[in-house]
Chains A and B, each alone.
Chain A
């Protein structure tokens, strides 16, 4: 057994799918080919067996996404698995269920993160998961009727949504000798929740006994919108609105990468350099917002750091506006390239970008003086909100949250795309596992992004004029072959942002599923906050840097 395990784990130069099939034995009843990986078809009552085997014997420790969808004749859940050590090694587990009895075994005992994913699949598509700890709606209101991404959903049917006021917790609890806890609603309208998030918190004195994030207050049907748009032009505006912290280009890249690999399109090298530069500018803007609002959470006022962060964001946004024409919703990437070349006069644009980069070290010094070097800040953040790496992996946390727990995982390096593998930069990790580490990771990533941008500007400045191709040849109407399936992800500001697309031969995707990093990062909050002070929970929530548009999609 152990030799077989080693064989499966090493698998240099790609996954040995035949060996995996042997290991799964009778559990795998069929095998499908997706563009990104092979998929093993598993009976709905053997899901856990298959996933345990893949996790424990083959090292697939990262459940990246669960996609649920409805076909004409069946429901299907797809578990997209990866390895934290090497995300290019992927495998999918495909679980079909019948129309009459859509019950499938839950993957929650294998991967904790499947909890929220399966609730979403139940909510939007209508698949039941057996053995799930708490299967109820997650994005839509509890009183909703029907499953909107199912085939027979009638969108015009009226809906009734209840406004349940929670009973006064003092009435029950404080007069009852048995109980000494208190229930507090934080949000959905609350300055510390970074948007419309609702935390159902149970307090024992000042300590958090239990916290449960209640999401869906910004569920604006992003997947439905993408499924109604054509590949070529109509989908690209929407990614900007997932993670709206001016990180739009990073999101556009997630869609561009998936669709380009699906339709087999090339991107000219010059466009890749522009994309890389734009994406890193967006990352700086996103991290600045994260640091500024985190300071707002910890110090609780619109004071210096927040204003400084806004000042620096204004500078980034000015550069991005010159490049793309918009401050926030860029819509700049096109399949096979970008919308237009750098603005003329080019020297002015390069000068402006360089000015911004030159001022950045001084600005970061300021942040370090005011923030990370501040004693009050340190006592609020060091050793609070501990997230152990093993827990982070169980919840598939990625991005700065995972890297703040010492998980060396960055898709820009591990699954290279764009121009990143030609450039000189480092992946930042910190071992503190606390709120402080996550802030440090973000601030150092800003430095690394600046390094990447500088190299891109150098490259673009010297690029010969006759080779400035911004767009490859792309058919006017894209119609990928029917039943092609792909799952591709990129490193967005908050972590691994993935897109699953299934084509049905038309010019619109049959299923478009978004893997949102914030969704996973938010799901670890109870692990970080339970048993801690309520003030530390607010700091932890801030350090997770969630954007509700991306959590709820």
Chain B
């Protein structure tokens, strides 16, 4: 097939479509401006829908993912983007290296105390509207490392998560399903409620005074942003 000309199925359509095409697009319009989708709309050049519905459909159909690797799951995430599984088939396979260009953050791995404030900041840097897919058991609950002294018990303690994909690690097929589910929810205008009160980045001076804060007062400046982990409150 030569790429010089559009496919037969697009330009070679027969009457009666041809007649409606001419009436709606005018005569002498280049064949390439026709399309299957255009044919589907028939003779009318207008569609009637709610703006919000249209926007949600657009959002769900073109998602820019944040290129974001944390742990083991990121290897399976790379496989999901790459040949064979090819997430791009679902309109969401463009990893962006900058959070400012991304709509969706896949959190692929264990979050530990040192990383959580950074992840929170990366999430904050993404423009609205933004969505999060938690990949793997670690982002659900801390997974196999839940009892660790340094491990955050789930991504939801730090940022709101829309879709949880369980597994250790989930297979690429599972991640594809998770992303497809997210697209479905976005297209329907649904979002996930935050179920736990997340750990927040706050000024050191705003923390409640207690033993550990007093101890650290010498080391940390009042204006520095900190995250305080109350391990016993974790679910």
Contacts and interface: CB of A to CB of B under 8 A. Distances in A.
Interface of A: 140-145, 148, 153, 155-165, 188-191, 194-196, 216-221, 224-225, 228, 237-238, 241, 244-246, 289, 302, 306-307, 310-311, 313-314, 317, 327-329, 548-549
B228 A220 contact: no
B74 interface: yes
Interface string B109-150: 110111111110110000000000000001000001101111
B154 to A, nearest CB: 13
Contact of A549 (B71, B76, B114): B71
A262 to B, nearest CB: 23
Given A161-B228, A217-B115, 10 more contacts: A160-B213, A160-B228, A163-B117, A194-B69, A195-B71, A218-B110, A225-B145, A302-B95, A310-B79, A317-B79
A225 B113 CA distance: 16
A162 B220 contact: yes
A209 B68 CA distance: 28
Contacts of A157: 212, 231
Interface in B192-226: 201, 204, 207, 210, 212-213, 215-216, 219-220, 224-226
B84 interface: yes
A217 B112 contact: yes
Contacts of B97: 190-191
Interface in B135-187: 138, 144-145, 147-151, 168-169, 171
Given A143-B220, A163-B201, A225-B148, A218 B70 contact: yes
Given A220-B112, A244-B72, A164 B224 contact: yes
Contacts of B149: 148, 153, 155, 221, 224
A158 B212 contact: yes
A219 B148 CA distance: 10
B118 A189 contact: yes
B15 interface: no
Contact of B225 (A159, A165, A289): A165
Given A148-B150, A159-B212, A244-B71, A310 B83 contact: yes
B72 A140 contact: no
Nearest to B233: A158
Contact of B118 (A188, A191, A224, A246): A188
A313 B79 contact: yes
Contact of A195 (B70, B116, B219, B228): B70
A251 to B, nearest CB: 12
Interface residues of B, number: 60
B82 to A, nearest CB: 4
A160 B219 CA distance: 11
Chain A binding surface, main DSSP class: loop
Nearest to A329: B168
Contacts of B215: 145
A328 B169 contact: yes
A218 B117 contact: no
Given A158-B229, A163-B118, A307 B83 contact: yes
Contacts of A549: 71-72
A234 to B, nearest CB: 10
Interface string B69-99: 1111011101101111000000000010101
Contacts of B10: none
Contacts of B81: 302
Contacts of B75: 244-246, 289, 328
Main secondary structure of the interface of B (DSSP, over half): mixed
Contacts of B43: none
Nearest to B72: A244
Nearest to A549: B71
Contact of A224 (B79, B148, B168, B204): B148
Nearest to A296: B78
B115 A196 contact: yes
B230 interface: yes
Nearest to A155: B149
B82 A306 contact: yes
Given A189-B68, A196-B70, A225-B148, A161 B76 contact: no
Given A164-B224, A328-B75, A220 B145 contact: yes
B71 to A, nearest CB: 6
Given A220-B110, A549-B71, A162 B224 contact: yes
Chain A to chain B: the 9 pairs with minimum beta-carbon distance, closest first: A221-B148, A310-B82, A244-B72, A163-B117, A163-B225, A217-B115, A220-B145, A148-B149, A191-B97
Given A195-B74, A220-B148, A313-B79, A327 B171 contact: yes
Contact of A161 (B79, B210, B229, B230): B229
A238 B150 CA distance: 16
B225 A162 contact: yes
Contact of B212 (A145, A241, A306, A307): A145
A310 B169 CA distance: 17
A549 B108 CA distance: 13
Contact of A311 (B83, B119, B219, B229): B83
28 contacts: A140-B113, A140-B114, A143-B220, A155-B149, A156-B231, A160-B212, A160-B216, A163-B121, A163-B224, A163-B227, A195-B71, A216-B112, A217-B115, A220-B71, A221-B145, A221-B147, A228-B147, A241-B72, A241-B144, A289-B75, A302-B95, A306-B82, A310-B79, A310-B84, A311-B82, A313-B79, A327-B76, A328-B72
A549 B69 CA distance: 11
B67 interface: yes
B232 interface: yes
Nearest to A144: B113
A144 B72 CA distance: 26
Interface in B5-45: none
B226 A163 contact: yes
B177 to A, nearest CB: 16
